[in-house]
A and B are shown apart, each in its own frame.
Chain A
Protein backbone atom coordinates (compact mmCIF):
# COMPACT_ATOMS: atom_id res chain seq x y z
CA UNK A 1 0.00 0.00 0.00
CA UNK A 2 2.66 2.45 1.09
CA UNK A 3 4.98 1.60 -1.79
CA UNK A 4 2.09 1.76 -4.26
CA UNK A 5 1.35 5.29 -3.02
CA UNK A 6 4.98 6.26 -3.42
CA UNK A 7 5.13 4.83 -6.95
CA UNK A 8 2.03 6.75 -7.84
CA UNK A 9 3.53 9.95 -6.39
CA UNK A 10 6.75 9.47 -8.36
CA UNK A 11 4.65 9.11 -11.52
CA UNK A 12 2.74 12.29 -10.74
CA UNK A 13 5.99 14.18 -10.10
CA UNK A 14 7.34 12.89 -13.40
CA UNK A 15 4.27 14.05 -15.31
CA UNK A 16 4.40 17.44 -13.55
CA UNK A 17 8.01 17.84 -14.64
CA UNK A 18 7.45 16.69 -18.22
CA UNK A 19 4.30 18.73 -18.84
CA UNK A 20 5.53 21.44 -21.21
CA UNK A 21 2.81 23.81 -19.95
CA UNK A 22 4.64 24.00 -16.62
CA UNK A 23 7.81 25.20 -18.36
CA UNK A 24 6.14 28.17 -20.09
CA UNK A 25 5.06 31.45 -18.54
CA UNK A 26 1.31 32.11 -18.44
CA UNK A 27 -0.43 35.31 -17.32
CA UNK A 28 -1.19 33.60 -13.98
CA UNK A 29 1.93 31.50 -13.36
CA UNK A 30 5.65 31.85 -13.91
CA UNK A 31 7.05 28.79 -15.69
CA UNK A 32 9.97 26.57 -14.76
CA UNK A 33 12.28 28.10 -17.41
CA UNK A 34 11.90 31.63 -16.02
CA UNK A 35 12.33 30.52 -12.39
CA UNK A 36 15.36 28.40 -13.30
CA UNK A 37 17.01 31.37 -15.04
CA UNK A 38 16.17 33.62 -12.06
CA UNK A 39 17.70 31.08 -9.68
CA UNK A 40 20.88 30.86 -11.78
CA UNK A 41 21.06 34.67 -11.97
CA UNK A 42 20.77 35.17 -8.18
CA UNK A 43 23.37 32.46 -7.58
CA UNK A 44 25.88 33.75 -10.17
CA UNK A 45 25.69 37.31 -8.82
CA UNK A 46 26.22 36.12 -5.24
CA UNK A 47 29.12 33.78 -6.02
CA UNK A 48 30.66 36.46 -8.25
CA UNK A 49 30.56 39.16 -5.56
CA UNK A 50 31.72 36.75 -2.83
CA UNK A 51 34.59 35.56 -5.02
CA UNK A 52 35.62 39.13 -5.84
CA UNK A 53 35.84 39.84 -2.09
CA UNK A 54 37.12 36.55 -0.67
CA UNK A 55 39.67 35.44 -3.31
CA UNK A 56 41.99 38.49 -3.16
CA UNK A 57 41.54 38.68 0.61
CA UNK A 58 42.38 34.99 1.08
CA UNK A 59 45.43 35.26 -1.21
CA UNK A 60 46.60 38.35 0.70
CA UNK A 61 46.13 36.74 4.14
CA UNK A 62 47.77 33.49 3.04
CA UNK A 63 50.70 35.21 1.33
CA UNK A 64 51.48 37.76 4.05
CA UNK A 65 50.14 35.65 6.98
CA UNK A 66 48.63 38.87 8.31
CA UNK A 67 45.08 39.42 9.63
CA UNK A 68 44.37 35.69 10.02
CA UNK A 69 41.65 36.65 12.54
CA UNK A 70 39.49 37.56 9.51
CA UNK A 71 39.36 33.87 8.53
CA UNK A 72 38.28 32.86 12.04
CA UNK A 73 35.71 35.66 12.04
CA UNK A 74 34.26 34.58 8.70
CA UNK A 75 34.02 31.00 9.96
CA UNK A 76 32.02 32.13 12.98
CA UNK A 77 29.33 33.33 10.52
CA UNK A 78 28.62 29.68 9.76
CA UNK A 79 26.71 28.99 12.95
CA UNK A 80 24.09 31.62 12.00
CA UNK A 81 20.84 30.02 10.77
CA UNK A 82 20.48 31.05 7.10
CA UNK A 83 16.65 31.27 7.21
CA UNK A 84 16.79 33.55 10.24
CA UNK A 85 19.27 35.87 8.57
CA UNK A 86 17.14 35.92 5.41
CA UNK A 87 13.93 36.80 7.26
CA UNK A 88 15.70 39.39 9.45
CA UNK A 89 17.27 41.27 6.54
CA UNK A 90 14.08 41.05 4.48
CA UNK A 91 11.81 42.60 7.11
CA UNK A 92 14.53 45.23 7.68
CA UNK A 93 15.02 46.21 4.03
CA UNK A 94 11.88 45.26 2.09
CA UNK A 95 9.51 47.91 3.60
CA UNK A 96 11.76 50.64 2.16
CA UNK A 97 10.88 49.63 -1.39
CA UNK A 98 7.42 50.15 -2.82
CA UNK A 99 5.68 49.38 -6.05
CA UNK A 100 5.69 46.35 -8.26
CA UNK A 101 9.43 45.62 -8.19
CA UNK A 102 11.04 42.85 -6.18
CA UNK A 103 14.18 44.90 -5.42
CA UNK A 104 13.19 44.96 -1.74
CA UNK A 105 13.51 41.18 -1.66
CA UNK A 106 16.46 40.81 -4.03
CA UNK A 107 18.81 43.05 -2.01
CA UNK A 108 18.48 41.28 1.37
CA UNK A 109 18.67 37.89 -0.34
CA UNK A 110 21.85 38.80 -2.20
CA UNK A 111 23.41 40.15 1.03
CA UNK A 112 22.69 36.86 2.81
CA UNK A 113 23.92 34.77 -0.14
CA UNK A 114 27.18 36.75 -0.31
CA UNK A 115 27.64 36.49 3.48
CA UNK A 116 27.23 32.71 3.28
CA UNK A 117 29.49 32.31 0.23
CA UNK A 118 32.44 34.27 1.65
CA UNK A 119 33.55 31.90 4.50
CA UNK A 120 34.19 28.75 2.39
CA UNK A 121 36.02 30.68 -0.37
CA UNK A 122 38.04 32.77 2.11
CA UNK A 123 39.10 29.93 4.39
CA UNK A 124 39.93 27.56 1.53
CA UNK A 125 41.96 30.18 -0.36
CA UNK A 126 43.84 31.00 2.82
CA UNK A 127 44.37 27.30 3.64
CA UNK A 128 45.49 26.64 0.05
CA UNK A 129 48.20 29.30 0.08
CA UNK A 130 49.14 28.45 3.66
CA UNK A 131 49.52 24.78 2.68
CA UNK A 132 52.07 25.36 -0.09
CA UNK A 133 55.24 23.69 1.11
CA UNK A 134 57.93 26.19 2.22
CA UNK A 135 60.43 24.17 0.17
CA UNK A 136 58.50 25.16 -2.99
CA UNK A 137 58.36 28.88 -2.18
CA UNK A 138 62.03 28.81 -1.10
CA UNK A 139 62.98 27.22 -4.40
CA UNK A 140 61.05 29.94 -6.26
CA UNK A 141 62.79 32.61 -4.21
CA UNK A 142 66.15 30.94 -4.90
CA UNK A 143 65.41 31.15 -8.63
CA UNK A 144 65.07 34.92 -8.19
CA UNK A 145 61.27 35.26 -8.11
CA UNK A 146 59.85 38.23 -6.22
CA UNK A 147 56.88 38.32 -3.82
CA UNK A 148 54.24 39.01 -6.44
CA UNK A 149 55.72 36.50 -8.90
CA UNK A 150 55.75 33.84 -6.16
CA UNK A 151 52.11 34.61 -5.29
CA UNK A 152 50.75 34.43 -8.85
CA UNK A 153 53.28 32.02 -10.38
CA UNK A 154 53.66 29.50 -7.55
CA UNK A 155 51.29 29.88 -4.61
CA UNK A 156 48.10 30.54 -6.63
CA UNK A 157 48.46 27.57 -9.04
CA UNK A 158 49.45 25.28 -6.18
CA UNK A 159 46.40 26.24 -4.11
CA UNK A 160 43.88 25.96 -6.99
CA UNK A 161 42.50 22.55 -5.88
CA UNK A 162 41.60 23.93 -2.46
CA UNK A 163 40.31 27.21 -3.94
CA UNK A 164 38.03 25.23 -6.27
CA UNK A 165 36.74 23.09 -3.43
CA UNK A 166 35.88 26.36 -1.61
CA UNK A 167 34.11 27.81 -4.66
CA UNK A 168 32.19 24.56 -5.13
CA UNK A 169 30.87 24.45 -1.58
CA UNK A 170 30.08 28.18 -1.71
CA UNK A 171 28.09 27.60 -4.91
CA UNK A 172 26.12 24.74 -3.35
CA UNK A 173 25.44 26.82 -0.26
CA UNK A 174 24.20 29.68 -2.45
CA UNK A 175 21.94 27.47 -4.60
CA UNK A 176 20.44 25.94 -1.44
CA UNK A 177 19.86 29.25 0.28
CA UNK A 178 18.49 30.89 -2.88
CA UNK A 179 15.83 28.15 -2.73
CA UNK A 180 14.84 29.21 0.77
CA UNK A 181 14.68 32.81 -0.48
CA UNK A 182 11.34 31.83 -2.04
CA UNK A 183 10.05 31.69 1.53
CA UNK A 184 10.52 35.45 2.03
CA UNK A 185 9.14 35.53 -0.92
CA UNK A 186 11.20 35.74 -4.08
CA UNK A 187 11.27 33.97 -7.44
CA UNK A 188 13.51 31.01 -8.16
CA UNK A 189 13.00 27.26 -8.09
CA UNK A 190 12.02 27.38 -4.41
CA UNK A 191 8.73 28.96 -5.57
CA UNK A 192 7.49 25.51 -6.65
CA UNK A 193 8.38 23.95 -3.28
CA UNK A 194 6.67 26.63 -1.20
CA UNK A 195 3.71 27.14 -3.59
CA UNK A 196 3.21 23.38 -3.83
CA UNK A 197 3.22 23.17 -0.04
CA UNK A 198 0.72 26.01 0.31
CA UNK A 199 -1.64 24.61 -2.34
CA UNK A 200 -1.11 21.00 -1.10
CA UNK A 201 0.01 20.28 -4.66
CA UNK A 202 2.63 17.70 -3.67
CA UNK A 203 3.73 16.72 -7.21
CA UNK A 204 4.64 20.40 -7.73
CA UNK A 205 6.46 20.57 -4.36
CA UNK A 206 8.46 17.40 -4.98
CA UNK A 207 9.08 18.40 -8.61
CA UNK A 208 10.59 21.63 -7.29
CA UNK A 209 12.85 19.56 -5.03
CA UNK A 210 13.98 17.48 -8.02
CA UNK A 211 14.77 20.64 -10.02
CA UNK A 212 16.80 22.16 -7.16
CA UNK A 213 18.78 18.95 -6.64
CA UNK A 214 19.41 18.68 -10.39
CA UNK A 215 20.62 22.30 -10.57
CA UNK A 216 23.00 21.76 -7.62
CA UNK A 217 24.42 18.55 -9.11
CA UNK A 218 24.85 20.17 -12.56
CA UNK A 219 26.57 23.24 -11.13
CA UNK A 220 28.95 21.07 -9.09
CA UNK A 221 29.75 18.94 -12.15
CA UNK A 222 30.44 22.01 -14.30
CA UNK A 223 32.79 23.43 -11.67
CA UNK A 224 34.55 20.04 -11.39
CA UNK A 225 35.02 20.13 -15.17
CA UNK A 226 36.47 23.67 -15.07
CA UNK A 227 38.72 22.59 -12.21
CA UNK A 228 40.01 19.70 -14.33
CA UNK A 229 40.83 22.10 -17.18
CA UNK A 230 42.42 24.79 -15.01
CA UNK A 231 44.43 22.89 -12.40
CA UNK A 232 47.89 21.81 -13.57
CA UNK A 233 48.29 18.06 -13.95
CA UNK A 234 51.47 18.28 -11.93
CA UNK A 235 49.38 19.32 -8.94
CA UNK A 236 46.32 17.14 -9.38
CA UNK A 237 48.60 14.14 -10.04
CA UNK A 238 46.50 13.05 -12.99
CA UNK A 239 49.38 11.80 -15.12
CA UNK A 240 50.53 8.96 -12.95
CA UNK A 241 48.07 6.09 -12.69
CA UNK A 242 48.39 5.75 -8.93
CA UNK A 243 47.68 9.40 -8.12
CA UNK A 244 51.03 10.34 -6.68
CA UNK A 245 52.13 11.81 -3.38
CA UNK A 246 51.34 15.40 -4.34
CA UNK A 247 47.69 14.57 -5.06
CA UNK A 248 47.38 12.65 -1.78
CA UNK A 249 48.69 15.67 0.11
CA UNK A 250 46.12 17.88 -1.66
CA UNK A 251 43.30 15.44 -0.80
CA UNK A 252 44.37 15.42 2.83
CA UNK A 253 44.41 19.23 2.89
CA UNK A 254 40.89 19.33 1.42
CA UNK A 255 39.67 16.94 4.10
CA UNK A 256 41.24 19.13 6.78
CA UNK A 257 39.56 22.22 5.38
CA UNK A 258 36.25 20.32 5.36
CA UNK A 259 33.67 22.98 4.73
CA UNK A 260 30.34 23.39 6.44
CA UNK A 261 27.47 21.87 4.46
CA UNK A 262 24.35 23.53 3.16
Chain B
Protein backbone atom coordinates (compact mmCIF):
# COMPACT_ATOMS: atom_id res chain seq x y z
CA UNK B 1 0.00 0.00 0.00
CA UNK B 2 2.72 2.45 0.94
CA UNK B 3 4.66 1.47 -2.18
CA UNK B 4 1.62 2.25 -4.28
CA UNK B 5 1.32 5.55 -2.48
CA UNK B 6 4.98 6.37 -3.15
CA UNK B 7 4.56 5.57 -6.84
CA UNK B 8 1.45 7.71 -7.03
CA UNK B 9 3.01 10.60 -5.16
CA UNK B 10 6.07 10.71 -7.39
CA UNK B 11 4.15 10.14 -10.60
CA UNK B 12 1.53 12.73 -9.72
CA UNK B 13 3.62 15.51 -8.28
CA UNK B 14 7.24 15.36 -9.36
CA UNK B 15 8.24 18.82 -8.16
CA UNK B 16 5.95 19.05 -5.14
CA UNK B 17 6.11 16.15 -2.75
CA UNK B 18 5.32 18.37 0.25
CA UNK B 19 2.15 17.29 2.00
CA UNK B 20 1.73 20.54 3.97
CA UNK B 21 -1.79 22.00 3.75
CA UNK B 22 -0.25 25.31 2.62
CA UNK B 23 1.23 23.64 -0.40
CA UNK B 24 -2.11 23.72 -2.21
CA UNK B 25 -1.01 26.52 -4.54
CA UNK B 26 2.05 24.58 -5.66
CA UNK B 27 -0.24 21.60 -6.24
CA UNK B 28 -2.50 23.81 -8.34
CA UNK B 29 0.45 24.99 -10.46
CA UNK B 30 1.59 21.40 -11.01
CA UNK B 31 -1.86 20.24 -12.15
CA UNK B 32 -3.06 23.50 -13.65
CA UNK B 33 -4.81 22.34 -16.81
CA UNK B 34 -6.67 19.51 -15.02
CA UNK B 35 -7.73 21.74 -12.12
CA UNK B 36 -8.87 24.55 -14.41
CA UNK B 37 -10.96 22.18 -16.49
CA UNK B 38 -12.61 20.87 -13.27
CA UNK B 39 -13.18 24.45 -12.12
CA UNK B 40 -14.81 25.22 -15.47
CA UNK B 41 -17.18 22.20 -15.32
CA UNK B 42 -17.93 23.03 -11.69
CA UNK B 43 -18.86 26.61 -12.62
CA UNK B 44 -21.00 25.46 -15.52
CA UNK B 45 -22.77 22.86 -13.36
CA UNK B 46 -23.42 25.44 -10.61
CA UNK B 47 -24.81 28.17 -12.87
CA UNK B 48 -26.79 26.53 -15.67
CA UNK B 49 -29.26 24.61 -13.41
CA UNK B 50 -30.08 27.86 -11.57
CA UNK B 51 -30.79 29.68 -14.85
CA UNK B 52 -32.92 26.83 -16.22
CA UNK B 53 -34.59 26.55 -12.79
CA UNK B 54 -35.44 30.26 -12.82
CA UNK B 55 -36.92 30.00 -16.32
CA UNK B 56 -39.17 27.16 -15.13
CA UNK B 57 -39.95 28.79 -11.77
CA UNK B 58 -41.01 32.17 -13.21
CA UNK B 59 -44.24 30.94 -14.87
CA UNK B 60 -44.97 28.52 -11.98
CA UNK B 61 -44.43 31.26 -9.38
CA UNK B 62 -46.54 33.69 -11.37
CA UNK B 63 -49.34 31.10 -11.64
CA UNK B 64 -49.37 30.42 -7.91
CA UNK B 65 -49.49 34.17 -7.24
CA UNK B 66 -52.23 34.76 -9.85
CA UNK B 67 -54.38 31.81 -8.73
CA UNK B 68 -54.08 31.82 -4.93
CA UNK B 69 -55.38 28.26 -4.48
CA UNK B 70 -52.31 26.95 -6.34
CA UNK B 71 -49.88 28.42 -3.78
CA UNK B 72 -50.28 25.93 -0.86
CA UNK B 73 -49.95 22.74 -2.99
CA UNK B 74 -47.08 24.28 -4.97
CA UNK B 75 -45.19 25.12 -1.75
CA UNK B 76 -45.84 21.65 -0.27
CA UNK B 77 -44.64 19.80 -3.37
CA UNK B 78 -41.51 21.92 -3.77
CA UNK B 79 -40.80 21.63 -0.03
CA UNK B 80 -41.07 17.84 -0.32
CA UNK B 81 -38.57 17.79 -3.23
CA UNK B 82 -36.25 19.98 -1.20
CA UNK B 83 -36.32 17.44 1.65
CA UNK B 84 -34.60 14.75 -0.44
CA UNK B 85 -30.81 14.74 0.14
CA UNK B 86 -28.83 15.63 -2.99
CA UNK B 87 -26.83 12.39 -3.16
CA UNK B 88 -30.12 10.43 -3.10
CA UNK B 89 -31.65 12.60 -5.82
CA UNK B 90 -28.54 12.16 -7.99
CA UNK B 91 -28.93 8.38 -8.01
CA UNK B 92 -32.74 8.48 -8.25
CA UNK B 93 -32.96 10.73 -11.33
CA UNK B 94 -31.73 8.17 -13.95
CA UNK B 95 -34.21 5.34 -13.19
CA UNK B 96 -37.10 7.80 -12.87
CA UNK B 97 -36.35 9.49 -16.20
CA UNK B 98 -35.19 6.39 -18.06
CA UNK B 99 -31.56 7.48 -18.36
CA UNK B 100 -28.71 5.03 -17.96
CA UNK B 101 -27.14 4.93 -14.47
CA UNK B 102 -24.29 7.47 -14.29
CA UNK B 103 -25.61 9.55 -17.19
CA UNK B 104 -23.81 12.93 -17.46
CA UNK B 105 -27.21 14.66 -17.37
CA UNK B 106 -28.28 13.23 -14.00
CA UNK B 107 -26.50 15.89 -11.94
CA UNK B 108 -27.69 18.97 -13.89
CA UNK B 109 -31.25 17.59 -13.87
CA UNK B 110 -31.20 16.95 -10.11
CA UNK B 111 -29.77 20.41 -9.45
CA UNK B 112 -32.41 22.00 -11.70
CA UNK B 113 -35.09 20.23 -9.65
CA UNK B 114 -33.65 21.80 -6.46
CA UNK B 115 -33.44 25.23 -8.07
CA UNK B 116 -37.06 25.05 -9.24
CA UNK B 117 -38.14 23.83 -5.79
CA UNK B 118 -36.49 26.81 -4.11
CA UNK B 119 -37.32 29.47 -6.71
CA UNK B 120 -41.05 28.81 -7.27
CA UNK B 121 -41.77 29.98 -3.75
CA UNK B 122 -39.28 32.84 -4.03
CA UNK B 123 -40.86 34.12 -7.28
CA UNK B 124 -44.36 33.91 -5.81
CA UNK B 125 -43.28 35.72 -2.62
CA UNK B 126 -41.33 38.26 -4.69
CA UNK B 127 -44.40 39.09 -6.79
CA UNK B 128 -46.42 39.29 -3.57
CA UNK B 129 -43.90 41.80 -2.20
CA UNK B 130 -44.84 44.35 -4.89
CA UNK B 131 -46.91 47.03 -3.11
CA UNK B 132 -50.54 47.13 -4.24
CA UNK B 133 -50.31 50.92 -4.85
CA UNK B 134 -47.54 50.32 -7.39
CA UNK B 135 -49.74 47.87 -9.31
CA UNK B 136 -52.71 50.23 -9.17
CA UNK B 137 -50.58 53.15 -10.36
CA UNK B 138 -49.30 51.08 -13.29
CA UNK B 139 -52.84 50.05 -14.22
CA UNK B 140 -54.02 53.67 -13.89
CA UNK B 141 -51.46 54.97 -16.40
CA UNK B 142 -52.62 52.39 -18.89
CA UNK B 143 -50.39 49.31 -18.46
CA UNK B 144 -52.00 46.07 -19.56
CA UNK B 145 -51.57 42.85 -17.59
CA UNK B 146 -48.57 41.51 -19.50
CA UNK B 147 -46.74 44.82 -19.75
CA UNK B 148 -47.34 45.49 -16.05
CA UNK B 149 -45.85 42.09 -15.18
CA UNK B 150 -42.66 42.56 -17.19
CA UNK B 151 -42.14 46.31 -16.77
CA UNK B 152 -43.30 46.79 -13.18
CA UNK B 153 -43.91 43.68 -11.07
CA UNK B 154 -40.85 41.60 -12.04
CA UNK B 155 -38.36 44.51 -11.75
CA UNK B 156 -39.76 45.46 -8.35
CA UNK B 157 -39.51 41.79 -7.28
CA UNK B 158 -35.86 41.55 -8.37
CA UNK B 159 -34.34 41.95 -4.86
CA UNK B 160 -36.42 39.09 -3.41
CA UNK B 161 -35.79 36.83 -6.42
CA UNK B 162 -32.06 37.65 -6.35
CA UNK B 163 -31.87 36.64 -2.67
CA UNK B 164 -33.28 33.23 -3.67
CA UNK B 165 -30.85 32.98 -6.60
CA UNK B 166 -27.94 33.58 -4.22
CA UNK B 167 -29.04 30.75 -1.90
CA UNK B 168 -29.60 28.42 -4.88
CA UNK B 169 -26.23 29.18 -6.49
CA UNK B 170 -24.10 28.96 -3.34
CA UNK B 171 -25.68 25.66 -2.31
CA UNK B 172 -25.28 24.34 -5.87
CA UNK B 173 -21.51 24.81 -5.65
CA UNK B 174 -21.46 22.53 -2.59
CA UNK B 175 -23.82 19.96 -4.14
CA UNK B 176 -21.78 19.72 -7.36
CA UNK B 177 -18.79 18.75 -5.19
CA UNK B 178 -20.95 15.97 -3.71
CA UNK B 179 -21.57 14.72 -7.27
CA UNK B 180 -17.78 14.43 -7.52
CA UNK B 181 -17.88 11.59 -4.99
CA UNK B 182 -19.93 9.44 -7.37
CA UNK B 183 -17.41 9.91 -10.15
CA UNK B 184 -18.62 13.10 -11.86
CA UNK B 185 -15.74 15.16 -13.19
CA UNK B 186 -15.56 18.43 -11.21
CA UNK B 187 -13.73 19.97 -8.25
CA UNK B 188 -15.11 17.15 -6.06
CA UNK B 189 -12.49 14.95 -7.77
CA UNK B 190 -9.81 16.80 -5.77
CA UNK B 191 -11.34 15.38 -2.57
CA UNK B 192 -11.31 11.88 -4.09
CA UNK B 193 -7.63 12.29 -5.04
CA UNK B 194 -6.75 13.70 -1.61
CA UNK B 195 -8.51 10.81 0.11
CA UNK B 196 -6.78 8.20 -2.08
CA UNK B 197 -3.33 9.73 -1.58
CA UNK B 198 -3.80 9.94 2.19
CA UNK B 199 -3.73 6.22 2.91
CA UNK B 200 -0.55 5.96 5.01
CA UNK B 201 -0.23 9.64 6.03
CA UNK B 202 -2.33 12.69 5.32
CA UNK B 203 -1.70 14.43 1.97
CA UNK B 204 -3.45 17.79 2.25
CA UNK B 205 -2.76 19.87 -0.90
CA UNK B 206 -5.57 18.60 -3.21
CA UNK B 207 -8.13 18.65 -0.36
CA UNK B 208 -7.29 22.20 0.70
CA UNK B 209 -7.18 23.30 -2.95
CA UNK B 210 -10.66 21.85 -3.51
CA UNK B 211 -12.09 23.67 -0.49
CA UNK B 212 -10.39 26.96 -1.46
CA UNK B 213 -11.60 26.79 -5.08
CA UNK B 214 -15.16 25.86 -4.03
CA UNK B 215 -15.36 28.75 -1.54
CA UNK B 216 -13.84 31.20 -4.05
CA UNK B 217 -16.28 30.07 -6.74
CA UNK B 218 -19.23 30.47 -4.34
CA UNK B 219 -18.04 33.95 -3.31
CA UNK B 220 -17.47 35.10 -6.92
CA UNK B 221 -20.87 33.85 -8.14
CA UNK B 222 -22.54 35.42 -5.08
CA UNK B 223 -20.81 38.75 -5.75
CA UNK B 224 -21.84 38.62 -9.44
CA UNK B 225 -25.51 38.20 -8.46
CA UNK B 226 -25.25 41.10 -5.98
CA UNK B 227 -23.67 43.25 -8.71
CA UNK B 228 -26.33 42.31 -11.27
CA UNK B 229 -29.05 43.11 -8.73
CA UNK B 230 -27.54 46.55 -8.13
CA UNK B 231 -27.39 47.25 -11.86
CA UNK B 232 -30.99 46.09 -12.36
CA UNK B 233 -32.44 48.14 -9.50
CA UNK B 234 -31.00 51.66 -9.89
CA UNK B 235 -33.95 53.17 -7.98
CA UNK B 236 -32.81 51.50 -4.78
CA UNK B 237 -29.63 53.55 -4.85
CA UNK B 238 -31.33 56.81 -5.88
CA UNK B 239 -33.37 56.97 -2.68
CA UNK B 240 -31.45 57.16 0.60
CA UNK B 241 -32.25 54.27 2.93
CA UNK B 242 -35.04 54.95 5.40
Contacts and interface: CB of A to CB of B under 8 A. Distances in A.
Contacts of B86: 176, 262
A260 B202 contact: no
A217 B201 contact: no
Contacts of A210: 88, 92
Interface string A187-202: 0001001100100001
Contacts of A87: 191, 194-195, 207
A176 B87 contact: yes
Interface of B is mostly: helix
Given A83-B181, A179-B85, A217-B84, A260 B167 contact: yes
Nearest to B200: A95
Interface of A is mostly: helix
A88 B95 contact: no
Contact of A13 (B95, B121, B175, B177): B95
B57 interface: no
A105 B183 CA distance: 22
Interface stretch (A50-58, A74-82, A123-131): A74-82
Contacts of B239: none
B39 to A, nearest CB: 13
Interface residues of A, number: 48
A190 B86 CA distance: 12
B227 interface: no
A20 interface: no
Q: How large is the interface on B (under 10, 10 to 19, 20 to 34, 35 or more residues)?
A: 35 or more
A190 B85 CA distance: 11
A138 interface: no
A213 interface: yes
A255 interface: yes
* 5 pairs of A and B residues whose beta carbons are closest in the complex: A176-B85, A6-B98, A209-B91, A91-B198, A84-B211
10 contacts: A3-B98, A78-B170, A82-B177, A84-B214, A85-B211, A91-B194, A176-B88, A220-B83, A261-B118, A261-B167
